Structure 1
């Protein structure tokens, strides 16, 4: 599995810690789409880059980190085919995969501690889409996307 990861200047340390964690805990390849500098960096750039990598199948899933996770997650959700969840706890991360088949996870370096961030990542990476009754709603979301091109 290949995970794309993106961040802004606030989340450089978190990106490194989460990337290392994913490599060590899961053996997954992690592809960096963010900044490695503490110099001001506009989060929409890495949000878009990870989103495009996910929808083009360059990577299997994406993880985004900025101060709150909100701006970078909103940026990713502007790319057709992306279902990015912004989480600050593991339960929503798990259900977002099971019910919404989310393909990108976002969280905030200023919102969650690094150990909680790892728990959120674990819940999200290990959960699987259930399909069934949930597919109808995903189809409806895709129709909304198609209506607004």
Structure 2
């Protein structure tokens, strides 16, 4: 699985930490924001494009609170994104919503919790079935 990861200027340190962790888990990482001057709009846009184009299977965006990136990513057709702060939400947004991107707030979530959030997100699989109705409704909105 390929994982695109990006940040705004407030998420650089956490992104670098998570890049190493995700690679240690055996995933290929695409750093979509290698420069330090990205804002949250640009970061979320880059990750959304990489995922939509099939260059990555999942995406992670890090800004100070996660909410701004979350709002931007969800404006893109075909993207289901969740702003997560815990492992359970990271897992369930994939299982029930088929989320392809999560956002994490570097000002809210520490390094160890962020590692666990990424693990839960990347190991989760979509349940399909009755949940597909909701995913179809979400995709019709864009």
Please indicate the TM-score interval, normalised by the length of the shorter structure: over 0.9
2:24 corresponds to 1:31: no
Residue in structure 1 matched with residue 49 of structure 2 by the alignment: 52
How far residue 144 of structure 1 moved from its aligned partner, in angstroms, is 2.0
Residue in structure 1 matched with residue 5 of structure 2 by the alignment: 5
Give, in whole Å, the separation in 2 of the partners of 1:119 and 1:13.
Answer: 17
Structure 1 runs, 4 residues or longer, greater than 4 Å off? none
Give, in whole Å, the separation in 2 of the partners of 1:133 and 1:59.
Answer: 26
Residue in structure 1 matched with residue 125 of structure 2 by the alignment: 128
Q: Count residues in correspondence.
A: 142
- Structure 1-normalised TM-score? 0.91
- Structure 2-normalised TM-score? 0.95
How far residue 60 of structure 1 moved from its aligned partner, in angstroms, is 0.9
Q: Residues 30-64 of structure 1, C-alpha deviation per residue, up to 9 Å, x if partnerless? A: 11112443x5x311111001101101101111000
Give the 5 Å matches for 1:1-149: 1-25=1-25, 27-37=26-36, 41-145=38-142
Q: Residues 2-23 of structure 1, C-alpha deviation per residue, up to 9 Å, x if partnerless? A: 1111101111111110000000
Give, in whole Å, the separation in 2 of the partners of 1:142 and 1:34.
Answer: 26
How far residue 141 of structure 1 moved from its aligned partner, in angstroms, is 1.4
Residues 55 and 32 of structure 1: CA distance in aligned 2, closer, same or farther (over 3 Å): same
Q: Residues 118-142 of structure 1, C-alpha deviation per residue, up to 9 Å, x if partnerless? A: 1111111111100000001111112
SS in 2 for 1:9: coil
Structure 2 residue runs of 5 or longer lacking an equivalent are none
